[in-house]
Structures are given as C-alpha cells and as structure tokens.
Amino acid sequence: MRRLVSEVRPHPAQLVLPMFVADSPDPQPIASLPGVMRHSMDSLAAAAHDAASAGLGGIMLFGVPQPRDKDATGSAALDPNGILNRSLSRVASEVGDSIVIMADTCLDEFTDHGHCGVLTPGGRNGDHIVDNDATIELYARQAVAQAEAGAQVVSPSGMMDGQVAAIRAALDAAGHTDTAILSYAAKYASALYGPFREAVDSSFTGDRRTYQLDPANRRAGLLEARLDIDEGADLVMVKPAGLYLDVVSDVAAMSPVPVAAYQVSGEYAMIQAAAQRGWIDGPAAMREAITSIIRAGADVVLTYAAMEVAPTR
Ligand code: PBG
C-alpha cells in the first residue's frame, strides 16, 4: 500500500553523477569523499560507461589540472587540450548519446588564486574581487570550447551576473544552438563545499561572498533563478540542496524550466562520516536525503551517491 501511494520515487534518469578527472595516469581516492574517485582519463571512461548502464540521466565533469597549468586567468579552461575539454571529448566518443554529458563552466579549478573568475587589478579595500564582466567573456569562450569538445550541457557555476545571456549568445554565434545551459542560479556561499575543494585540489583561500548568496536570504534565491530564466537558462539549479529545501520549493513553484538541486560534497560527506562511525544507516539516510530533495520540487538531483541510489529503483 505504501508503494502504491508513494508521492516521490527517485529514478536513475533524474540523477546526475558529478565526476572529477585529473591530469594524472592513476585514479586516486578523495579522503573526504569516501567512494568518490579523482579519475584518470581511462578510469573516467570506464565509470562513464557504468553510469550510462545504470541508467543515470547525466554526468557532470570537473577538471583537475596540474598546478603548473593554473594561471591568473584560468587559461587551461579555454584550451581544447586542457584536462576538462580533453575529458569531455573522450567521454563523448565513449558514451555518445546514452547519457547527458555536462561540463562545469567555471574558472576556479584553473585559476592559481582559486576564484571563480579573473580578479580586478586594484581590488577594493585591499581585497581582490572578481571582475564580473571580464569573467563572463571568458565563461562564454569556455562554454564554446566545451560544446566543441562534446558537452551537451554547459553549467555556469560562478554566480556572475549576466553569465547565462553571455554564454547563450556565444554558443548561438558559434553554431551550438542545441547546447543547453544548466545554470547554477541560486548558489549560496556555503560551508559545505569543503570536500569538493579537496577533490579539485583547489588553490582557494578566503570566501566567495562577493558573488555567492547569503545563506540567510531566501528571496535572493528566487530572484537569481528568475534572472537566469529570463536570460535563457534551460534548467536552473539550487545549491546546496538539503539545507535549502525552502529555496528548492520556491523555485520549483515558479519555474517554467526544470529545476535541479545539487547535494554538495559536504552533504554527502556528513552522511558518509556518520555512517562510517556506525551512528546512522548510511544508505537509508542517503536515500532519505535525495527523496526529500525531490519531494521539495527538484526534477533533477546532482549527487555523488547517484550510482548507489540508482539500482534500488
Ligand atoms: C565551482 C563549484 C564548486 C562546487 C561546484 N562547482 C565550488 C565552489 O563554489 O566553491 C561545489 C560542489 C560540491 O561541494 O560538491 N566550480
């Protein structure tokens, strides 16, 4: 009877697996993300096949360049031979259309200062701040490079104003009219991104409060989603997910486009850590967390647990 009347049933087709690929010959575990690998090109290809066979809806690729390939403007992000663009080409040739291939469109993995964009020369009050308009020009070029490499979806995650419009215009001008934009629309300046920064070997110190949202502000999430929809986003995302179910619900109630939510690294790691100590039932807690994100209104969930949750359909 409970099965008959269940309102929400997480389905593999609505799950997206975030994946890390490094410029190194061997895959490596990530200490703060148990069960998640920093892939080599070959292990990424194998894992992408597994994700497609499990029926997942998509994979989201993040590149981890060698430290020597990082610079102030994140130029490896635009280079067709940069680690992310190379891995997109490889995965596209391996799995084709059997799963949606998404790319993180952001400079933070590629800049030597770890910010999501290029910095203003003078800064403000002695602090370096991100130059919004110079950054979106780079995002636009990065998105075209990613589409050319084989990404079917580009995913601006830097929270720059006008990033969706700039990317849409550049993609269309380059003939990539079919490449979709999944916009990280309501992305909060959260303490839950810590394990991710280990995963991508981030050069970052400080905070992103000049461009990510204040966790105290619910209306701001709705406003950011609306702006991105107006600029042409094909999907909008709320991030993190589990602590922001009110924002997921607000955005889902008004959005004319599908809504995604990202169960981020810290959300995943907290459940794994408690489960490792035997304090909670890990698989049950993970499933409950993902079910709740969908119940709040997410159509699509990005989760490091996608492969574990998928077979229990
Ligand atoms: C930025 C980006 C971040 C995450 C996804 N895209 C890091 C940040 O904003 O600092 C975090 C995802 C996670 O914690 O799982 N490219």
103-155 pLDDT, tens digit per residue, is 999 999 999 999 999 998 877 666 778 999 999 999 999 999 999 999 999 99
In the annotation, is 70 catalytic? no
Q: Which residue segment(s) compose the domain that 155 sits in?
A: 2-312
CA distance 132 to 72: 15
| Residue nearest (by alpha carbon) to ligand 1 atom 6 | 157
| Residue nearest (by alpha carbon) to ligand 1 atom 12 | 264
Is 258 strand, coil or helix?
A: coil
Which residue from 113, 155, 196, 303 has its CB within 8 A of the most atoms of ligand 1, so it is best to mutate?
Answer: 196
Q: How many CB atoms lie within 10 A of CB 99?
A: 23
**In angstroms, what is the span from residue 193 Cα to ligand 1's centroid?**
6
| Residue nearest (by alpha carbon) to ligand 1 atom 1 | 157
**In angstroms, what is the span from residue 207 Cα to ligand 1's centroid?**
12
CA distance 94 to 107: 26
pLDDT of residue 313: 42
- The total number of structural domains in the chain stands at 1
Q: How many CB atoms lie within 10 A of CB 311?
A: 9
**In angstroms, what is the span from residue 32 Cα to ligand 1's centroid?**
14
In the annotation, is 239 catalytic? yes
Interval 189-218: pLDDT, tens: 999 999 998 898 888 888 888 899 999 999
pLDDT of residue 126: 63
Q: At what angle do helices 218-231 and 163-173 cross, to 10 degrees?
A: 20
For the four alpha carbons of 241, 117, 236 and 209, in that order, the dihedral sign comes to positive
Q: Which residues line ligand 1 (CB under 6 A)?
A: 104, 106, 108, 116, 157, 193, 196, 208, 264-265
Q: Which secondary-structure segment (H or E) carries 35?
A: none
pLDDT of residue 100: 98
**Among candidate residues 132, 203, 139, 129, the one with its CA nearest the CA of residue 166:** 139
Tell me the whole-structure pTM to 2 decimals. 0.96
**In angstroms, what is the span from residue 21 Cα to ligand 1's centroid?**
15
Q: Which stretches of the chain are DSSP H helices?
A: 2-5, 41-53, 83-95, 132-149, 163-173, 194-199, 218-231, 245-254, 265-276, 282-295, 306-309
Whether 167 contacts 139, CB under 8 Å: yes
Label the pairing between strands 58-64 and 180-187.
Answer: unpaired
Q: Which atom of ligand 1 is nearest to the CA of 184?
A: 6
Question: 239, 260, 268, 272: which is the annotated catalytic residue?
Answer: 239
CA distance 237 to 183: 6
pLDDT of residue 311: 63
**Among candidate residues 29, 208, 233, 228, the one with its CA nearest the CA of residue 107:** 208
**In angstroms, what is the span from residue 22 Cα to ligand 1's centroid?**
16
Q: Which atom of ligand 1 is nearest to the CA of 266?
A: 14
| Residue nearest (by alpha carbon) to ligand 1 atom 10 | 193
| Residue nearest (by alpha carbon) to ligand 1 atom 2 | 157
Interval 291-310: pLDDT, tens: 999 999 999 999 999 999 97
Question: 113, 115, 176, 187: which is the annotated catalytic residue?
Answer: 187
Section 49-69 average pLDDT: 97
Interval 204-259: pLDDT, tens: 888 888 899 999 999 999 999 999 999 999 999 999 999 999 999 999 999 999 99
> Looking at residue 243, which CATH number applies to its domain?
3.20.20.70
pLDDT of residue 310: 77
Q: Which secondary-structure segment (H or E) carries 16?
A: strand 15-22
Interval 145-173: pLDDT, tens: 999 999 999 999 999 999 999 999 999 99
**In angstroms, what is the span from residue 185 Cα to ligand 1's centroid?**
13
